[in-house]
Structures are given as C-alpha cells and as structure tokens.
Amino acid sequence: MKLTICWLYGDTMNIYGDRGNVLALAQRCRWRGIEAEITTLGVGEELDPDAYDIFFWGGGQDREQIPVSSDILGPKGETLKALLEDGAPMLSVCGGYQLLGKHYHPYGEEQLPGLGFFDAWSEAGPERFIGNVVVDSGRFGTLVGFENHSGLTFLGPTAEALGRIRVGRGNNGQDGTEGCIRLNTLGCYLHGALLPKNPAVTDFLIKAAIKRRYGVEELEPLEDDLEVIAHQQAIKRAVATG
C-alpha cells in the first residue's frame, strides 16, 4: 500500500513545528510497511482529487491567510470540501483550522471567507494565548500540545468540539472547548507538533486513509511503549506548568 500526504500551503503556512505532523504521519506509515510520500500544494496549484490520501493544513500569520483564503474560493476549495465530505482525512492547525470554518476576521482587515466545512467562525482577539494545553477528548482520550494564537474560534450548534480544555485556553478562552471534528477531519490550535505527541490521532488519520483508498478496515498496531511514555510525560509537564 502507498499513501500520499498533501501538505496544503506548506510553503507559507508552516509555523511552530507543524512540519513534524507530516513527518509523523509518514513515519508511522513506514513502520507498518506502507509507502508514504509527502507533497506540498501551494497557492495557485491545482488540486487533483484522486492524487492524495491524507491532508495536513498548518498555521500561518494573517498576511499569509489572505492569499490562501482567495485560493480556496474557486474550484480548488470546492474540490477540497468535496473530498472532506467524502471522508478524506485531514488535520488542520491554527490558521488552517480557522479557514475550514465559515470565515476568519483578522484585526484591522476585511473578513476572510473560509471553506465552510466546519460550523465555526473565527475572529482576531485582544489577547494572545500561549502555553501548554491538555485536552480531554471523547474520541482520543487525553491530548497534549502547545497553543500560540490570538484568533478566537466559536463553534456553531452543529459543530462537535475535539475536546474540553483541562489546561490552556482552547478555542476562545471562554467556553472551555478546543478544536472541532467532523467526519475524518480535525481542526485545533494544538501545535507542538500535535501528531508526534499524540500517536492515537496519527493512527486515526492513517486508518481512515487506508480504508478509503484500499477498503482495509484494520490498522496494524505498533509497539508504542516509548510513545506512550513520552505522551504521559508531556501531559505531566503541561499540567505542572499550567
């Protein structure tokens, strides 16, 4: 089996260690004997709906989100939304997460239209949230990461939060939620990078990809003793410092 990982806007939306997410996806594929290829897709480049199995969309500054928002307004965005609606797996972080919602309104700028995949919207806030984050997720257990954002994301009535904040500020610092999940697409503010610290999320994305591409229902387990220890230690440090 082979899976192709599409790093959306990896040349511009790539901050706070987000590259580690695509590396973790590829490595956990290869440990299972699954060939993994990473491809970056930038502004103005066509999205082939049959070419990719897993999508990652990372964070960026407001100035980088402006051309990206324009880029997803046309056929490219329509293709991406259709793929996600069909169950293609994606992890989106920070800026990518914001643009999967209905819109993002930067400070002092015009509102940027989003893809509208999540029933959510975002706006620039007056405070920057920085620090370790621990999230209790019904889907994945306890998640750990690092947030660094001033954008505030609010979930609509049909949106499902990725989890509840135990440490940190989360989506908006007000309602105790962090992230959003719909079908096989996850959005969140967890940098760090998220996937190396939380292998259960990585495997969720890989499992969804091989099921969609090959009809394979089960994902071969890995010996994750070291990953589990690292995950637990990261949680302990986050709780202690938070």
Q: Which of 194, 182, 130, 184 is nearest to 155 (CA)?
A: 182
Asked about 94 being catalytic, the answer comes back as yes
How far is CA 79 from its chain centroid? 18
Tokens of 35: 């060939």
Catalytic residue among 6, 180, 188, 191: 191
Please report the DSSP string for 24-72 in residue order.
HHHHHHHTTT-EEEEEEE-TT----TTS-SEEEE----HHHHHHHHHHT
Catalytic residue among 29, 94, 180, 188: 94
Asked about 191 being catalytic, the answer comes back as yes
Q: Are 13 and 59 in contact (CB under 8 A)?
A: yes
Q: Which of 145, 41, 40, 27 is nearest to 93 (CA)?
A: 145
Q: Which residues are catalytic?
A: 94, 191
